[in-house]
Structure 1
Amino acid sequence: MAVYAIGDLQGCHKALQRLLQKVNFSADNDRVWLAGDLVSRGPKSLEVLRFVKSLGDSAVCVLGNHDISLIAAHYGVAKPHSTLKPIMKAPDREELVDWLRKKPLLHVDDELGFCMAHAGVFPHWNLNQAQQFASEVEIPLRGATTQRWLENVYGDEPSQWSDSLQSYDRHRFILNTFTRMRGCNPDGSLNHLVKGTANDLQAKGLYPWFQLPTRVLLSQRIIFGHWSALGYHKDSQVVSLDTGCVWGRKLTAVRLDGDTIEPIQVAC
């Protein structure tokens, strides 16, 4: 069995099919990890959702910020992106959104030695904390009061973690960390305003979250997406897989069960 991880799809269904063909993916024998943002901006978000859902246990996907936005649009909390109209009109919309909102924010595989979150893992959390906090947020996202919860978790603040955070403030920070994080201030607080490359952040006195000097090093290597301006990046701690497919660049996969990590790509 081969295990592949793939970066942000954002509705690029044809590119996904080409990439899976390139690695000879078999849903019967192999497994694919998807780093979130299945939908939005690309032309075939509905097809992506239906296909990934059809893979069953052969696909592992975590929630990205665009996936959360689709769920919020379904509940009338946010305006849907124009490319999501086919989903909003689809007869199986309820089924697809219900399937999507039950996906995790964090996936951990101790045997392979990898974990995956759309934007990453907050640099001051250890893995046990990250798993606990992800589970805290997954409960209301999957529950009967999802609409009310979503109405209260949109926003940028608080920017700094504290164990004393409670209720919606606590959940907002956790959700933002797993789905929106890129840059951190030197004290570890999140900065959602400055975007661009790692150099752009550093020019503003920020750190990419995975390069914060005080970051807690995890035993698992972190797979993440979300940051197309960063592109493919690999070091001993992280692998970044968002290579801007929806912007006409590339869709990237890596094989997780091999001896080395090397990018496998198709043009978009």
Structure 2
Amino acid sequence: MKRSKGVKPLAGARNRPGAARNSGNRGSRRTAEEPREASQTDAAVDLIRSKIIDMSLQPGSRLDEPLLRNHFKLGRTPAREAINRLVAEGLVNISPNRGGMFVRGLDFVEIGEVIMAYQLVETVLAQLCSFDDDSLVADLEEIQARYTREVRGKSFLGITSVNEEFHLRMHRSIGNALFYEFALSTHRHLRRLLVLIYKIENRERNVLEAQMEINLDEHVRIIDAISRRDRTGLSQLLPAHAQQAQTRLARILSEERVPPLTVDRLLNDFFATRRGRWADRD
């Protein structure tokens, strides 16, 4: 009989007398144990991802099993599996030269890549979002209600989490699994950037509150455009909404809260770097 991929046979089960009689009980125990292990790993991934996104684990900081076991009280297997999954998500990098694994950096080039990817996925979303998804508007309205509560509570991690859910619900309507995975990855990286922006804006209460009201209003207008099946309006709203991240960064940089460097220059440097790499390949 073909063995399921990834499930190891029980040691000595084929040769041990009575194995067939006891296989049912043993299988029940294994079935009960595997969900618990998977649940522990999922919880570990969610915990570490949240710490990376809210920058409790800072960009560039070292990440290893002893840290996860001792600081976050994770078991050996969940810790190892969590790191593997976060590497696959791109939030953790393996650096053999530095001798370990590290939280992905968030320098100007990285920010440029996130902004470009975000604007790309939202521009495509505006063109492909399905108006024939019967539950889309109701789902977005329910998510928006939760988003509003997170905004009022000024929970940056919660705001970015529900915002991600809002956008991915629209992406799900497209029905393209590969593009959805790209959008999911983009929004996870975007969350970390948005938390950083919120934390900077939080130093000036009026700036933060004004931006939150803009975000709320734009979400409402996006839902309205979808409910009216207004493709032209949605094609204007979603790219403009994505542009907000760049606009907010430009304002921060212009006010010299970080070393002076415009986002436009950042993006120009990013594209120049890419052109150089492509030229080298040719």
TM-score after normalising by structure 2: 0.29
Give the number of the structure whose residues are more often helix, by fraction.
2
Structure number with larger C-alpha Rg = 2
TM-score after normalising by structure 1: 0.31
Instruction: Tell me: higher relative CO, structure 1 or 2? Use CA pairs within 8 A at least 6 residues apart.
Output: 1
Give the number of the structure whose residues are more often strand, by fraction.
1
